A and B are shown apart, each in its own frame.
Chain A
Amino acid sequence: MNARRVAVTGIGVVSPLGSDLAAFRARLIAGESAAAPVSLFDASGFATRIAAQVRAEDFTAVPATARDRKIGFGLTAARNAVADAQAHGAPLARTLPRGAAMGIGLELFSMPDMLRYLAVPEVPAGEHPLGFLQTPSDLCLHLVSREHGLTLPPLLHVSACAASTDAIGMAFRMVRDGEAAWMLAGGTDSMINPMGLGGFCKIQAMTTRNHEPARASRPFDRERDGFLLGEGAGMLVLEEWEAARARGARIHAELLGYGASFDAFGISDPHPEGEGARLAMQRALADAGIEPGEVAHINAHGTSTRKNDTVETLAIHRLFGAHARRLTVNATKSMIGHLISASGAVELAAQILCGVAPDGAPGVAHPTINLDNPDPECDLDYVAQAARPLAGPVFLKNSFGFGGQNASLAVRLNWSSP
């Protein structure tokens, strides 16, 4: 059942650092921050007034649901992923079972719409019912399936910050187990709106370093004070390895394993010993059939919150033992912020792109920027400030959700690619 290998042959991102893959890779390796004052609405009254926003030119909005940016992000990233998968070799097979799995963010309401609704609880004339007030989360998934002719039942994941990693993990298993020939998997989210920003301010989860946006997201640093909100989408084409080779596709990486776990501990706090995080990573390794010593690098969840970063560090120590000191670890959120449901997919794409040079040679771990003074409780090798060559092709991608849902993926970079 586990004989089939799974290749990543297409990558599409819509990120605060752009949607062009080459430029995205270059900016990550250069250590650029996408943080800036919020410009999508008047955020002057909030405790946090900065975020990492997607530029308008980096995605195509859906007119009927234009208020919900994540739909346009998701569709654009899916389009880009399919184009990337077909940039080399024959087109993707359209006669074999194929589907979509996505982690998609909350159905938040627009406050101006809410005021209209409270005055008259009807859909205003000229408005699409699915565009007024709240847009269903699954709408983007069905639009993606329709646009790309994906005929397997689509899977929607709502496991908070772990959602898109879960979507990729489940899609990986569907290809590996022979349910699908290929899958389009990832996630999309935008909570940079008054309700989203207000909700996160209310629970004091975000950085308030408004005076220096580019230095606000600082995972594992002693002075970190919360996460920077980001937005965007990441989609991958996952394809059965031999079929991908047969059609002449460029293979970016191989997905090896997926693990998930519940913390079963606190509503907002991670398990203090990182038990859920450890279990997710351990299960990903077991699913992949590899030993901890084979892992060279971890792309961390790394939120820049006080609790996550220390607990994730502890979980890595507990699972890897002495090998933890030999691992490199980085946090993409230091540059693009926290993309919530889309974070895992975009960060996975980031590390795959950086991890393989354009000529197929071994690549780098992108830097964790703003890590100026490491927290004494965060004592791993976090690739601070500057990119560094990877010591090996196998890495883990971690995503840990609010509410204790944890996901981890084991990945091997394809350094043999032409």
Chain B
Amino acid sequence: MSDPLSLTLDPPLALTALATHCGDAADDATLAQAALAHMKSPKMKKFMGRQDLIAVLVAGRAVAAAGLDTARLARRAGLYLAVGSIPFELDDVKAIAAHSVREGAFSCEAFAREGIEQVNPLLTFRCLPNMPAFHVSLNLGMQGSYFVTHPGAGQAWLALSRAARDLAAGRIDSALVGAVADQSNHLVDFRMRHQFGATGGLPNTGAMLCLERAADAAARGAPVLAQLTALDIRYTPHDPLDLAAAQPVEALGAAAPWFALEAALAAEERAFEQQATCRDGITARATWRRA
């Protein structure tokens, strides 16, 4: 038995932009260059991991496409972001490990005195799951509310749900709803295969939607790609340790729902329904119509 988080949006919410990114490790230089165009200072790049760069890139593109100005973003915009598994870099981990062994076994003293000294303090900043949200807020000047969640598509749907609620209640005027996942990382790849049942290498992905109340979007003459009219998200409590019963992992990570939305928008149907069954027991249904 499940209880729905359901919402009928009347008036509807306007989708005024959708930006996506999909690449692999070979695209890193291109990704960094593209993200720089949306950053206040290139100096911040040294603090940024792949998920941070993707978040800034898709957020910057979405905001530009929606025509949202800095004044609208500063106080009355919310960020709702699902972030994938933490991407510890294997080179860092190997350097730590190589200096943390005594007599063939892990030595905590060696780790403390030598192992951890092998990595730059910036490693900490590149690994925290709330950092993509920090970098988006910094570069877009956002001081509004947020929901930073983790790790997959189910929580990405919940991010949309919270944004829709906050918009409908008038708590914010604009919402950036997105997801990022660094999946070409060695450790993340291991987790995807052994914990989440992935069968092959997965891409690095990100997506960002701009949502506003339809009247607000119309008043400022914003482009409207579609209108969200209803949302229904359900959950079946389950044993997460029973991996045999789990749904397959979404190849596009937490951003999977927004790639599906992009494909539906490209199909040019007047109205469509998105349905998803996520690996964490969450099922979702969103109803969209063309403006």
A interface residues (Cβ-Cβ under 8 A, vs B): 1, 41-46, 64-65, 96-99, 106-107, 109, 111-112, 114-115, 117-118, 121-123, 128-130, 132-134, 136-139, 142-143, 145-146, 149-160, 166, 170, 173, 177, 179, 194, 197-199, 201-203, 259-265, 267-268, 275-276, 279, 283, 401-405
Contacts and interface: CB of A to CB of B under 8 A. Distances in A.
B190 A133 contact: yes
Contact of B86 (A106, A115, A151): A106
B169 A177 contact: yes
B194 interface: yes
Q: Identify the interface centre among A111, A150, A201, A402: most chain B CB within 10 Å of its CB.
A: A111
Interface string B2-44: 1101000000000000000000000000000000000000001
A151 B121 CA distance: 41
Contact of B111 (A142, A150, A156, A198): A198
A44 B150 contact: no
B235 interface: yes
B247 to A, nearest CB: 13
Nearest to B44: A267
Nearest to B83: A158
A264 B137 contact: yes
A198 B116 contact: yes
Contacts of A151: 1-3, 235, 237
B3 A137 contact: no
A200 to B, nearest CB: 8
A65 B127 CA distance: 22
Nearest to B137: A262
29 contacts: A43-B108, A97-B3, A111-B97, A111-B108, A114-B96, A114-B97, A115-B106, A129-B195, A132-B194, A134-B85, A134-B191, A136-B191, A137-B150, A138-B240, A146-B240, A149-B237, A150-B237, A151-B2, A153-B154, A158-B149, A158-B150, A198-B111, A199-B124, A202-B116, A260-B145, A262-B142, A263-B143, A265-B138, A403-B131
A404 B142 CA distance: 11
A405 B133 contact: yes
Contact of A155 (B119, B158, B191): B158
| 3 cross-chain pairs, A with B, having the tightest CB-CB distances, nearest first | A45-B112, A97-B3, A262-B137
Interface of B: 1-3, 5, 44, 47, 75, 79, 83, 85-86, 88, 93-94, 96-97, 100-101, 105-106, 108-113, 115-116, 119, 121, 123-125, 127-131, 133-134, 137-138, 140-151, 154-155, 157-158, 161-162, 165, 169, 187, 190-191, 194-195, 233-235, 237-241, 243, 280-282
Given A43-B108, A264-B137, 14 more contacts: A97-B3, A106-B86, A111-B111, A112-B106, A115-B101, A133-B191, A139-B241, A151-B3, A153-B233, A194-B111, A197-B112, A262-B143, A275-B143, A404-B137
Contact of A194 (B3, B108, B155): B108
B84 to A, nearest CB: 11
Nearest to A119: B97
A153 B158 CA distance: 8
A166 B161 CA distance: 16
Contacts of A201: 112, 116
Contacts of B137: 262-264, 404
A264 B141 contact: yes
B135 to A, nearest CB: 8
Contact of A158 (B75, B130, B169, B235): B130
Contacts of B190: 117, 121, 133
A268 B125 CA distance: 9
Nearest to A134: B191
A51 B106 CA distance: 22
Nearest to A154: B235
A170 B162 CA distance: 9
Nearest to A143: B240
A362 B237 CA distance: 40
Q: Identify the interface centre among B121, B161, B195, B243: most chain A CB within 10 Å of its CB.
A: B195
A404 B134 contact: yes
A165 to B, nearest CB: 12
Contacts of A259: 145
Contacts of A115: 97, 100-101, 105-106
A146 B239 contact: yes
B144 A262 contact: yes
A267 B241 contact: no
Given A130-B195, A146-B239, A177-B169, A156 B234 contact: no
Contact of B138 (A1, A112, A143, A264): A264
A364 B75 CA distance: 36
Given A264-B143, A276-B143, A153 B282 contact: yes
A106 B151 CA distance: 11
A149 B140 CA distance: 40
A46 B158 contact: no
Contact of B128 (A150, A154, A160): A160
A118 B92 CA distance: 12
Contacts of A264: 137-138, 140-143
